[in-house]
Amino acid sequence: MATRWGICGAGKISHDFSVAMKTLPPGDHKLAAVASRSLERAQEFAQRHGISKVYGSYMELAQDPNIGVCLFTDIVYLGVLHTQHMEVGLLFLNAGKNVLCEKPFAMNSKQVQQLISASKENNVFLMEAIWSRCFPVHTEVSRLLAEGTLGEVKMVKAYFGSPQLHIPRSVEKELGGGALLDIGVYCLQFVLMVFKGEKPESVHATGVRLDSGVDESMVVVLKYSGNRMAWCAFSIGVAMLNEATISGTKGNIRIPAPMWCPTSLVLNGKETQYPIPEPSMPLNFTNSTGLRYEAEEVRQCLLKGLKESTKMPLADSSLLTEIMDEARRQVGVVFPQDNK
């Protein structure tokens, strides 16, 4: 039976996610419903993607008695603004719905813990949509590290720079803007993947803020036990190399750009390609058909009866947000949600 998806939010990322879904076997995944705060937008989205059920509010999707776990939709994909993740996430979790929530999970650790608590209380599946974790390249990296191919990993570096100062949601505090929550999260999650969710001994962050109060650029240095370190740099002001490297006592791995949705891996100078499917219609973001991998991860977890992802566990999401909270504190980035 196909995993049936309810799409919450009819914006750009939801469009790309729906296009990516079309690269998967139709017998495994089905776009069953879409909800938007605008019925007209939901109807346009449904027509474009061939979705039969349409809602003009998130509440309608959450409260429909015909839509629940293993009834009409098996899981709801949240593609709404960062600032809405907790409120809308709780709406569906408390309605007994499984949830795949776009990154960042929420605005701060307190909100993330509320989402995790709600998923446990309602005994439903919850995952932060860090799609990077599900790409074949990252799966291969995890395998190589587990086999000890690099020896002892001593240094991890990750860079991500994308000029986005012209985009309101990237620069406005009320929309959850800033480099850290939007793109820096990919660099930090990569480090956590390499070090298997281990908590760093220290977090040192420095950066520059825009007049709006959000971070334009930031550098975060993580120190781990055993003289291991990680160095992350990200910016919404300039383009960067957008690659990641892992250096160990026996070799190196380089993830060429784009490191957050990679299609190749370089092991000790030898490159291997991992191509992704071509889209059936135009996309908004780089390599978005790769969203198929996190959708399939969700399906496999649901089929096994799991309540969280094996590739992006809730403990990693929790630690990731803790690190981002500390980085924001050191750079002086404060959101309205931090005072609630």
Residue 198: per-residue pLDDT: 98
Fold match flag (3-131 vs 136-273+310-338): no
Query: Average pLDDT, stretch 86-90?
Result: 98
Interacting residues of 209 by C-beta distance below 8 A, sequence separation 6+: 215, 216, 331, 332, 333
Share above pLDDT 70 across residues of the chain, in percent, rounded to a whole number: 97
Q: What is the mean pLDDT of residues 169-179?
A: 97
Above pLDDT 90, what percent of the chain? 95
Query: By the 8 A CB rule, do 54 and 33 touch?
Result: yes
> pLDDT digits over 195-212, tens only?
999 999 999 999 999 999
The SS3 call for residue 297 is helix
Amino acid identity of residue 290, one-letter, is G
Report the C-alpha gap between 279 and 16 in whole angstroms: 9
Break the chain into its structural domains and give their ranges. 3-131, 136-273+310-338
**CB neighbours of residue 92 within 10 Å:** 26
Was domain 136-273+310-338 assigned CATH 3.30.360.10?
yes
Tokens representing residue 273 in the block:
């390609």
The residue-averaged pLDDT of 298-325 equals: 97
User: Does residue 66 register a pLDDT over 60?
Assistant: no
Per residue in 67-87, pLDDT (tens digit) is 544 444 589 999 999 999 999
Mean pLDDT over the full length of the chain: 96
Beta carbons within 10 angstroms of residue 167's beta carbon: 14
Phi and psi at 67, nearest 5°, equal -120, 105
Query: Which whole number is the average pLDDT over 245-249?
Result: 98
CA atoms within 13 A on the CB side of 228: 20
Return the number of other C-beta atoms located less than 10 Å from residue 201's C-beta. Answer: 12
Give me the pLDDT at residue 340, please.
75
Q: What is the pLDDT of residues 12-27, one digit of tens each?
A: 999 999 999 999 999 9
Residue-wise pLDDT tens digits, 99-155: 999 999 999 999 999 999 999 999 999 999 999 999 999 999 999 999 999 999 999
> CB neighbours of 135 closer than 8 A, spacing ≥ 6?
261, 262, 274, 290, 293
**CA 247 – CA 267 distance, rounded (Å):** 10
Mean of the pLDDT values across residues 268-278? 98
User: Looking at domain 3-131, which of 3.90.1150.10, 2.60.40.10, 3.40.50.720, 3.20.20.70 is its CATH number?
Assistant: 3.40.50.720
pTM of the entire structure? 0.97
Q: Give the residue-averaged pLDDT of 313-335.
A: 98
The confidence score (pLDDT) of residue 299 equals 96
- pLDDT over threshold 50, residue 230: yes
From the CA atom positions of the chain, what is the Rg in Å?
A: 19
CA atoms within 13 A on the CB side of 294: 28
Q: Which long-range contacts (CB under 8 A, 24 or more apart) does 260-265 make?
A: 260/132, 260/160, 260/183, 260/186, 261/131, 261/132, 261/135, 261/286, 261/287, 261/288, 261/290, 262/132, 262/135, 262/137, 262/138, 263/137, 263/287, 263/290, 264/137, 265/137, 265/140, 265/141
**pLDDT at position 28 over 80:** yes
